[in-house]
């Protein structure tokens, strides 16, 4: 039997702190991960004294850098604590929404409707000219007049709406993260406290699962333990990941199906060098200004997007995500401009594509970024 620790047995789990830098007495939640780099690297301090035997007289450890990145498939419901740490503020949880009955009218993506005692999610907007035949399917997607409806469940389920706006301050408590290294001759648990999310990056491929990378910075790493810090069994969410075909871009509120790939990054510009005399750990983990940016590769159809760049126009940019269960997330950047060199280039006989860099800001909008989530959980 193997005595080596195994990545397939090990995990990273998190919990929100009530008091900053204090392990909360709650059941931790496991994070899915493809890989992680959570660590505690120490600077190397080497004496510069000169000795007649040409040797180094001493070497010491300096300050600890407790930080790392967790990379995984993107899920809608399991990352709400990390979104909270990334944007600050507080999730607003609305009472269960009651979807309206399917009707002859215009529908926008993300709308929930009811038909034949069943709930559906609009995953492609448009106008329904006639509701006959009504929606009756119990799996997958069905289109009426080009409007696409995803089956969510019987009308006995409850659907809730959660909203998080970018805020000036981060939550009072940070994140405690536990890394369990299992499978060796003895289990090994590392617990990081006082964590903040330095950045979150979503990468949307041309074909595949959307990826997320969370950069985390902690104040300290506790001494290794032989038992989990979780109070009770660590919970493992069961929601579905999101693919590129389940992602839709909105430019100025209009669905855009010309994007080949894209990414978005929200960063808090955490101060990484906050050390003081008398301690090897950071004094605190403090944010700088929040910045939101990214890139889009678009198939060139006409000058609509290029004119936004050319005229330095301000517009809204939103990324809409859904999963197989009918959960829906909309991440909106309210004021955005395009940058880069998107003038079309002829590089061969194939489809012409252009790349745009985008930058969000807050000049007249209430906030720079808003995340909305619809799922069957009463609280985010």
* pLDDT attached to residue 215: 98
Residue 183 has what pLDDT? Answer: 83
Residue 186's pLDDT is what? Answer: 85
Of 271, 223, 239, 220, the residue nearest 17 (C-alpha): 220
Question: What pTM, to 2 d.p., does this model score?
Answer: 0.94
Is 50 part of any domain?
no
Print the domain residue range for 20: 11-40+68-94+161-375
Are 234 and 144 in the same domain?
no
**Same structural domain, 178 and 311:** yes
Q: Which of 332, 323, 368 is nearest to 77 (CA)?
A: 323
Task: Tell me, yes or no, whether 303 and 190 share the same domain.
Answer: yes
Same domain, 190 and 333: yes
Pair (367, 255) in one structural domain: yes
Regions of the chain short of the pLDDT cut 70: 1-2
Residues 274 and 245 both lie in one domain: yes
Check whether residue 90 and residue 33 sit in a common domain.
yes
> Do 182 and 282 fall within a single domain?
yes
Which two tokens mark 38?
């959570």
Same domain, yes or no: 287 and 331: yes
Q: What is the 3-class SS of the chain, one letter each residue?
A: CCCCCCCCCCEEEEEECCCCCCCCCCCCEEECCCEECCEEEEEEEECCCCCCCCCCCCEEEEEEEEEEEEEEECECCCCHHHHHHHHCCCCEECCCECCEECCCCEECCCCEEEECCEEEEEEECEECCCCCCCCCCCCCEEEECCEEEEEEEECCCCEEEEEEECCCCCCCCCEEEEEEECCCCCCEEEEEEEEEEEEEEEEECCCCECEEEEEEECCEECCCECCCCCCCCCECCCCCECEHHHEEEEECCEEECCEEEEEEEEECCCCCCCCCCCCCCCCCCCCCCCEEEEEEEEECCCCHHHHHHHCCCCEEEEEEEECCCCCEEEEEEEEEEEECCCCCCCCCCCCCEEEEEEEECCCCCCCCEEEEEEECCCCC
The structural domain count of the chain equals 2
Q: Within this chain, do residues 31 and 124 fall inside the same structural domain, yes or no?
A: no
**Domain match, 122 and 110 both:** yes
Q: What is the pLDDT of residue 7?
A: 79
Q: Tell me which residue of 301, 203, 206 sits closest to 251, measured CA to CA.
A: 301
Domain end (from 108, 134, 157): 157
- CATH code: domain of residue 140: 2.10.10
Query: Does 284 lie in the same domain as 145?
Result: no
> What's the confidence (pLDDT) of residue 2?
59
Q: Which residue has the tokens 């926008």?
A: 108
């Amino acid at each position: 039997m193997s005595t080596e620790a195994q990545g397939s047995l090990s995990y990273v789990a998190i919990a929100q702190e009530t008091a900053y830098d204090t392990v909360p007495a709650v059941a931790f939640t496991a994070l899915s991960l493809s890989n992680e780099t959570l660590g505690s690297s120490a600077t190397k301090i080497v004496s510069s004294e000169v000795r007649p035997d040409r040797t180094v007289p001493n070497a010491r450890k300096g300050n600890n850098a407790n930080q790392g990145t967790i990379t995984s498939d993107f899920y809608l419901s399991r990352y709400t604590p990390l979104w909270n740490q990334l944007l600050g503020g507080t999730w607003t949880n609305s009472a269960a929404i009651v979807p309206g009955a399917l009707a002859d009218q215009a529908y926008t993506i993300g709308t929930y409707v009811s038909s034949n005692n069943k709930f559906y999610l609009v995953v492609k907007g448009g106008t329904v000219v006639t509701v006959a035949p009504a929606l009756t399917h119990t799996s997958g997607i069905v289109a009426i007049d080009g409007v696409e409806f995803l089956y969510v469940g019987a009308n006995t389920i409850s659907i809730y709406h959660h909203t998080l706006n970018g805020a000036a301050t981060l939550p009072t408590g940070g994140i405690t993260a536990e890394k369990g290294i299992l499978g060796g001759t003895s289990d090994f648990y590392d617990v990081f406290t006082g964590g903040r999310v330095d950045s979150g990056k979503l990468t949307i491929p041309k074909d595949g699962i959307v990826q997320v990378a969370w950069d985390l910075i902690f104040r300290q790493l506790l001494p290794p333990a032989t038992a989990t810090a979780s109070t009770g069994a660590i919970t493992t969410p069961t929601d579905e990941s999101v693919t590129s075909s389940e992602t839709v871009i909105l430019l100025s509120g209009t669905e855009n199906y010309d994007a080949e790939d894209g990414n978005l990054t929200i960063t808090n510009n955490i101060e990484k060098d906050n050390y003081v005399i008398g301690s090897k750990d950071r004094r605190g983990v403090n944010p700088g200004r929040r910045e939101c940016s990214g890139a889009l590769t678009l198939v060139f159809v006409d000058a609509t997007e290029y004119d936004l760049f050319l005229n330095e126009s301000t517009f809204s940019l939103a990324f809409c995500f859904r999963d197989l269960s009918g959960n829906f997330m909309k991440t909106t950047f309210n004021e955005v401009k395009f940058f880069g060199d998107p003038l079309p280039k002829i590089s061969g006989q194939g489809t012409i594509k252009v790349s745009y860099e985008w930058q969000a800001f807050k000049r007249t909008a209430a906030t720079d970024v808003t995340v909305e989530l619809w799922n069957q959980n009463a609280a985010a």
